[in-house]
Amino acid sequence: MFGSLLRTSMVDPERALRGRDRYAYSIPATHTVLGTPLQGPWPVGTAQLYLAMGCFWGAERAMWQLPGVVTTAAGYQGGFTPYPSYEETCTGMTGHTEAVMVAYDPEVLTHEALLRAFWTSHDPTQGFRQGNDRGTQYRSAVYFTTPEQEAAVLATRDAYAAELAKAGYGAITTEVRPASEAGTFYYAEAYHQQYLDKNPNGYCGLGGTGVACPVGLTGV
């Protein structure tokens, strides 16, 4: 509807959709696979990291399968429009990327191990696309919540970038910034939550490069 421009560049904040002041839909209380609260509360010590790697259906499934994960949720983050809908996000006029909130126990799943799964589960060099999915909402991103996570993100990114370069890939384009700067994580509509559990044969565009990440090998 808005042409190809919004598939290759971010919308300006002043042009972004206005959104609304509350959710236009209800959010499920419980994760259909893990049986844990989707919005908390979670056990003391639970960490949160926000990851985007293309379509959030496959990305969420990849994350909930990791040992030590308390819960996951699909949502929208990194843009300008408050409480966006899926349809709005897909226009490119909200600035959000399709993100997955991962709540996990860092004593079981280290930051590095989680990030190793992130880097190797998609191609972080593709800019505003992931495979055949094209648009700013499919960009790769990591929004961290603690200094320890930030250090792990930067260390794993740099180590993986070197391995990707050896394999002939270009530079990593993943957006990296604090979750506080990226803005609120807006939970997606109920039908998106744990979509591939509800629809086992549903679309999954997730695909890695086949290049191994040399860090985070423990804790997986």
Q: What is the pTM of this model?
A: 0.95
Count of positions (residues) in the chain: 220
- pLDDT tens digits, 113-165: 999 999 999 999 999 999 999 999 999 999 999 999 999 999 999 999 999 99
CA 217 to chain CA centroid, Å, is: 21
Number of H helices, E strands in the chain: 7, 8
75 forms beta bridges with 99, 187
Q: Tokens 């505003």 correspond to what residue?
A: 128
Catalytic, out of 55, 90, 204, 213: 55
What pLDDT sits at residue 213?
92
Distance CA 46, CA 102 (A): 10
Distance CA 191, CA 84 (A): 15
- pLDDT tens digits, 70-82: 999 999 999 999 9
Active site residue 55: yes
- pLDDT tens digits, 157-175: 999 999 999 999 999 999 9
